[in-house]
Chains A and B, each alone.
Chain A
């Protein structure tokens, strides 16, 4: 009963470094999402994948790329990290069609 698993849980990067955040779900969900959470701003959608093989930009996509590797896995890549990308990142999945999202426990990223 893992649900949505995110790795790593914590990461510190220097400005300009790159990294990939990993996400996997075991609920056979079609859709997957990446959000960032900043104080006072709720959760903002970065990218999403409505189904395997498709990806689309959300509200705040700049500085990020994604890969829907297969139905289970959806990764988020920062090519050149900036301090403005310091945030908590959440991956989520859903069956699609307006159903509720299931969230992972988050990755806390600090860019110095």
Chain B
């Protein structure tokens, strides 16, 4: 079953606002990944994190690998209309045989 708890489930924000979403688990992860899915497309990798405490940026996106190795955060600064989509956290954990496991996703809608 689902091993990653992703929140919030959805958010509707004003253009220009900052956005935060997170993923937590009871399992220890050795890699965290954040994907974005546009309507009608497959998920595309945004950021990969490989070390506890790691903070990595990709343009306006910043993600962190939690110190406990059981959580990760994604922040989007100054949101724009093209940020709409579904954001998935995903990770590798030995408890799942090192196959990628996904959160349920955060649906982001932006008001222009």
- Partner-B contacts on A (CB < 8 A): 4, 33, 35, 40-45, 48, 58-59, 90, 92, 98, 100-106
Contact = CB atoms under 8 A, between A and B. Distances in A.
A4 B44 CA distance: 12
Nearest to A96: B98
A4 B6 CA distance: 27
- The 4 A-B pairs with the shortest beta carbon distances in the complex, nearest first, are A103-B42, A42-B102, A42-B104, A43-B102
A103 B44 CA distance: 7
Nearest to A6: B42
B42 A105 contact: yes
B63 interface: no
B31 interface: yes
B45 interface: yes
A98 B88 contact: no
B42 A45 contact: no
B105 interface: yes
Contacts of A98: 30-31, 92, 98
Contacts of A33: 99-100
Contacts of A40: 9, 104-105
Contact of A106 (B33, B41, B44): B41
Contacts of B6: 42
A36 B17 CA distance: 32
